[in-house]
Structure 1
Amino acid sequence: MSDTQTLARLSEIYRYPVKSTAARSLTRALVSEEGLDGDRRYMLARPDGRFVTARTHPALQRVIVEPVNGGLDLHHPEAGSIEARETRFARESFTTAVWGDTFAAVTTESALDAWFSEILGEPVRLLWLGATSPRYRESLQRRVSFADGYPLMLISQASLEALNARMDAPQRMIQFRPNLVVAGTAAHAEDAWARIRIGEVEFRVDTPCARCKMITVDPTTGTFQARGEPLRTLAGYRRGADGKVLFGQNLIALNTGELIVGAPVEVLETRATSI
């Protein structure tokens, strides 16, 4: 094992209880087949079932969500605060889809729908997965939450530093919406990982994460940054063979367990890279 691998450690954990809302930093988290416990268990959708994210509604990133026993506490700087409690949910079946995966989630309550509709300026419904996700991805042979396609995503701190060395203004890790951040590696070391262990959990490093305009949202203001940055800069040196802009790696947990910030990261298998 190399010195770099020996020094690698889990430096940050992030959870996003409602898809596209503000990141919540954790010091420890449980991992299951579906990803981090409590991650992306809720999502907004239009009345026709089309999902809604910060790609089109960047103001979502100003919504702060705190999981509590039996639900969520939500806050927005202008809309104020509201509670979401599972005991009050209507739990009516509601057909939705995430990037081609069609499945039935359940409704919550009209007050929550109205609260989010006011923030976004159009009618939306707040949906819940329930205790177990009904979304099964055949390509992964896994149940997945409302995440775009994979249960988890990882980025190294050095990769962000390499990007910022090319930028006039520094970018923040939370713009890239990772679940796990690793320190103590070379920039983009994660591109060459095929299987890793973090603490007691082993992961398959499945595919690079293709990036879109979501990373151009300033999470503090809930607005898009000028000139399409940092996507524009990344496109200059992080394009894959298919032309997509790649930054970070999608993960699949191979066992359940707890992750704790500071846990060692062990690289078990590597692969060739083409970026």
Structure 2
Amino acid sequence: MPTLAAIHRYPIKSTAGSSLQRARVEEEGLVGDRRFMVVKPDGTFLTARTHPGLQLVRAQFDGERLTVTHGRLPPVDVARQEFSGQPFETQVWADPFTATTTHDSLDAWFSEAAGEPARLLWLGERSSRYRESIGVRVSFADGYPLLLISEASLEDLNARTDGTHVMAQFRPNLVATGTEPYAEDRWKRIRIGDVTFRIDAPCARCAMVTVDPARGEKRVDKEPLKTLAGYRRGDKGKVYFGQNLVAENSGDISVNDSIQVLEFVR
């Protein structure tokens, strides 16, 4: 039976993730996942697609304090009660919604990290972004609450490319082990721990997977996107790797939990 090999949470969109042994899953995904986002002063979101150095930023948020660190910047630590909390209009792709402001010191810090004027936004206790197409509220994630990839799929990709690519390039929340390559493509509903998930759509990949997370720089050879394009193109010309998930209930999951496949794609 396949099992859950790793859980990854990304407190701030496009910045470095952290590994967890146990996590709470709710409608919006992992609790604490992508609850913050860096934006331009006009609300346009910034990601590692255009600012790969953001992946060198690490964040910790326990619900009360946010701490951010970067190798070339002094750390900043701000209590949630110090957030200004003003409504701020922003947008992720085609979804306009309202988030809230955080603190001037965080805005200044991220302006330095991004190399241009920037602000850090917080979703608050509950996201105001509701995606009718999938029927749930979503965080600052691109489009879905959760992403799953199997270790075997990455191993198969690495066997086709020069060099070694790491899971962090693909930014999954859940990593499966004990499967064949791309077994996740054939799953329709699964259960992990207390939670049942529906596999909603394959994840279309972009140049962000070419960012080396250890250096915060894009690879000049455009890998692994170039190799993926050779064998993972879908009907619409998009390149797919990994599967987007929606939780059907709230509950807890842990590393080494079994992954029970409840339904396969017909």
Q: How does 1:51-70 map to 2 (within 5 A)?
A: 51-70=45-64
Match of 2:191 in 1: 197
Which of the residues 3, 7, 10 maps onto 1:16?
10
* Alpha-carbon distance in structure 2 between the residues aligned to 1:215 and 1:194: 25
The aligned amino acid for 1:89 is F
* Alpha-carbon distance in structure 2 between the residues aligned to 1:213 and 1:90: 34
* Alpha-carbon distance in structure 2 between the residues aligned to 1:210 and 1:199: 27
* Alpha-carbon distance in structure 2 between the residues aligned to 1:207 and 1:264: 22
Deviation at 1:174, TM superposition (A): 0.8
* Alpha-carbon distance in structure 2 between the residues aligned to 1:269 and 1:190: 11
* Alpha-carbon distance in structure 2 between the residues aligned to 1:86 and 1:133: 16
* Alpha-carbon distance in structure 2 between the residues aligned to 1:58 and 1:19: 12
Match of 1:40 in 2: 34
Deviation at 1:84, TM superposition (A): 2.8
Deviation at 1:69, TM superposition (A): 4.4
In the superposition, the TM-score normalised over structure 2's length comes to 0.99
The aligned amino acid for 1:161 is E
Match of 2:209 in 1: 215
* 1:114-152 deviation digits (Å, cap 9, x = unpaired): 001011110011000000011111111111000000000
* Alpha-carbon distance in structure 1 between the residues aligned to 2:204 and 2:213: 20
Check conservation: 2:63, 2:80, Cα contact below 8 A: no
Which of the residues 252, 257, 260 maps onto 1:258?
252
* Alpha-carbon distance in structure 1 between the residues aligned to 2:52 and 2:17: 13
* Alpha-carbon distance in structure 1 between the residues aligned to 2:61 and 2:83: 15
* Alpha-carbon distance in structure 1 between the residues aligned to 2:101 and 2:194: 35
Deviation at 1:71, TM superposition (A): 2.5
* 1:157-215 deviation digits (Å, cap 9, x = unpaired): 00000000011101000110000000000000000111000121100000000000110
Tell me whether 1:29 sits opposite 2:27 in the alignment: no
Question: Secondary structure of the residue that 1:247 maps to in structure 2?
Answer: strand
Tell me whether 1:99 sits opposite 2:86 in the alignment: no
In the superposition, the TM-score normalised over structure 1's length comes to 0.95
* 1:221-265 deviation digits (Å, cap 9, x = unpaired): 000012111000100000011110000000000010001000000
* Alpha-carbon distance in structure 2 between the residues aligned to 1:83 and 1:214: 28
Tell me whether 1:168 sits opposite 2:171 in the alignment: no
Deviation at 1:102, TM superposition (A): 0.3
* Alpha-carbon distance in structure 1 between the residues aligned to 2:44 and 2:63: 29
Q: Unmatched 5+ residue regions in structure 2?
A: none
Match of 2:241 in 1: 247
Check conservation: 2:153, 2:181, Cα contact below 8 A: yes
Which of the residues 190, 197, 200 maps onto 1:206?
200
Moved over 2 A (4+): none
The aligned amino acid for 1:211 is R
* Alpha-carbon distance in structure 2 between the residues aligned to 1:199 and 1:115: 38
Tell me whether 1:143 sits opposite 2:142 in the alignment: no
| Deviates further, 71-80 or 249-258 | 71-80
Check conservation: 2:148, 2:172, Cα contact below 8 A: yes
Query: How many residue pairs are counted as aligned between the two chains?
Result: 266
The aligned amino acid for 1:9 is T
Q: Indicate the percent of aligned positions where both proteins have the same amino acid.
A: 57
* Alpha-carbon distance in structure 2 between the residues aligned to 1:241 and 1:84: 47
Match of 1:4 in 2: none
Match of 1:183 in 2: 177
Question: Secondary structure of the residue that 2:237 maps to in structure 1?
Answer: coil
